[in-house]
């Protein structure tokens, strides 16, 4: 104030009209405030930010390089100039009408709010970049959380800016918007439902980035690559992308294979049909041949020892077994398959492992192999299944059994040749 009076007196002493002198000294003072704001902004951007950047580069941590990036701190430095103008402008226009003063201060206030919004938005993006690179956070729906915070931030910021332009309190503006809540809910229905569904998915640990999910109704069968506020992106195994709204994952059912990946193995449950006409009782010659198979030697020796001991004790013919039935080539085959599966290093011995009969059909007797593979990735897992059943198909003739298959053209041709 004292400086303005001295400038005013100096201008009047030079013979200038008092009214013109008042206007000119206010203009000079306003230019000085703008110059001060410009110098402060220049110092912050060119001096302080560079000093912070050099200091951050000397640290071993990487998170501060992202959080204190010049683009993030640059938005914060943009607040310096309007704050200085907002604080000093009342001194310049102290003796003038309040309309000009209020307009300039309101404009500065809006610029401050917008600069702060851009700073917080950039800070949130930087924080998302830092946490998304951490191994423990890669399976969290961080992008959906980021988008939720951004929407909330800009909604509050726009309300404050509009309230300032209208010269009303933000709370009163919010109260007035209550009448338009139905319209707002209709416009932002997907975002609101996506936010609520995202919270449910995360709170109940139903879905994470990297999970393998199956949702045939919407053509999804692959890995979750992104969880956002409005969509869940699934990269299918044919490299197509399926997008599903989060609320559908809550309202409809889907299959998450994460439990299988975290368990001790991935289940194999496949069967092969045996021609029932090839099943017969074992003769001593057949048992002697089977004993030469390494995996069956102990089984046949133990079985025969038990049989002979029981039969001698009870005076029963040696062809009758301890359980009241004679040994069959199919029973020996099942014993071989069980021993074979348990001998494989890729089979988890702590989980269920068995070979069983299924209900006979007109396509033969299904023999099912039920076990768990310690290899869970898709391609190696399919290789494990193929190797096992390759072996099964190759070993079946050794037990005088046949695989059932419907007659083909070659069968009819052989039959015709025999008739001729």
Give CA–CA dist 34/28, Å, rounded.
10
- With beta carbons less than 8 A apart as the criterion, state whether 241 and 224 touch: no
Is 344 inside any structural domain?
Answer: yes
Cβ contacts of 230-233, under 8 Å, gap ≥ 24: 230/147, 230/190, 230/191, 230/194, 231/194, 232/207
Residue 266 phi, psi dihedral angles, 5° rounding? -105, 130
Give CA–CA dist 403/389, Å, rounded.
12
Is 399 inside any structural domain?
Answer: yes
pLDDT in tens, 159-188: 788 777 777 777 766 666 655 656 666 666
pLDDT in tens, 120-143: 888 888 777 777 777 666 656 666
Domain count, the chain: 2
- With beta carbons less than 8 A apart as the criterion, state whether 275 and 411 touch: no
Q: Which of 101, 133, 165 is the last residue of a domain?
A: 133
pLDDT at 323: 47
**Helix, strand counts (H, E) of the chain:** 18, 8
Is 158 inside any structural domain?
Answer: no
Is 139 inside any structural domain?
Answer: no
What Rg value do the Cα atoms of the chain yield, rounded? Answer: 41
Give CA–CA dist 94/97, Å, rounded.
8
- With beta carbons less than 8 A apart as the criterion, state whether 108 and 85 touch: yes
pLDDT at 193: 75
- With beta carbons less than 8 A apart as the criterion, state whether 77 and 115 touch: no
Is 407 inside any structural domain?
Answer: yes
Q: Which of 84, 107, 133 is the last residue of a domain?
A: 133
Q: What is the pTM of this model?
A: 0.53
Q: Which domain holds residue 385?
A: 267-412
Give CA–CA dist 176/11, Å, rounded.
51
Give CA–CA dist 193/100, Å, rounded.
45
Q: Which of 103, 133, 163 is the last residue of a domain?
A: 133
Is 228 inside any structural domain?
Answer: no
- With beta carbons less than 8 A apart as the criterion, state whether 153 and 120 touch: yes
- Residues of the chain where predicted confidence (pLDDT) is lower than 70: 1-26, 56-57, 59-70, 92-98, 135-144, 172-192, 195, 199, 202-203, 310-311, 314-325, 407-420
pLDDT at 77: 78
């Amino acid at each position: 104030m004292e400086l303005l009076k001295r400038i005013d007196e100096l201008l009047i002493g030079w013979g200038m009209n008092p009214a013109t002198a008042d206007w000119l000294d206010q203009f000079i003072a306003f230019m000085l405030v703008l110059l001060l704001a410009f110098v402060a902004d220049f110092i912050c951007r060119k001096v302080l930010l560079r000093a912070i950047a050099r200091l951050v580069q000397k640290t071993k941590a990487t998170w501060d390089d992202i959080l204190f990036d010049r683009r993030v701190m640059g938005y914060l430095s943009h607040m310096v100039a309007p704050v200085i103008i907002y604080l000093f402008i009342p001194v310049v226009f102290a003796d003038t009408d309040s309309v000009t003063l209020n307009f300039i201060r309101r404009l500065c206030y809006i610029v401050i709010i917008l600069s702060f919004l851009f700073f917080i938005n950039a800070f949130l993006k930087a924080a998302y970049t830092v946490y998304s690179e951490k191994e423990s956070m890669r399976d969290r729906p961080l992008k959906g959380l980021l988008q939720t915070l951004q929407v909330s931030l800009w909604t509050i910021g726009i309300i404050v800016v509009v309230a300032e332009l209208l010269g009303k309190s933000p709370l009163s503006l919010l109260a007035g918007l209550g009448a338009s809540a139905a319209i707002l809910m209709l416009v932002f229905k997907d975002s609101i439902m996506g936010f609520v569904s995202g919270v449910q998915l995360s709170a109940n640990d139903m879905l994470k980035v990297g999970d393998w999910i199956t949702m045939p109704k919407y053509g999804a069968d692959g890995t979750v690559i992104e969880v956002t506020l409005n969509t869940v992106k699934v990269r299918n195994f044919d490299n197509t992308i399926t997008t599903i709204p989060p609320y559908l994952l809550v309202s409809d059912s889907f299959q998450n294979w994460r439990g299988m990946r975290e368990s001790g193995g991935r289940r194999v449950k496949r069967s092969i049909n045996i021609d029932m006409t090839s099943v017969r009782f074992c003769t001593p010659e057949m048992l002697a041949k089977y004993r030469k198979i390494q995996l069956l030697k102990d089984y046949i020796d133990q079985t025969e020892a038990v049989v002979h001991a029981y039969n001698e004790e009870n005076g029963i013919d040696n062809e009758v077994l301890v359980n009241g039935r004679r040994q069959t080539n199919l029973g020996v085959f099942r014993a071989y398959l069980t021993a074979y599966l348990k001998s494989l290093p890729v089979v988890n011995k702590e989980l269920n492992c068995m070979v069983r009969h299924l209900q006979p059909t007109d396509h033969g007797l299904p023999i099912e192999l039920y076990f768990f593979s310690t290899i869970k990735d898709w391609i190696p897992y399919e290789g494990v299944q193929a190797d096992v059943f390759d072996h099964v198909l190759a070993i079946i003739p050794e037990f005088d059994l046949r695989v059932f298959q419907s007659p083909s053209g070659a069968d009819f041709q052989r039959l015709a040749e025999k008739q001729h």
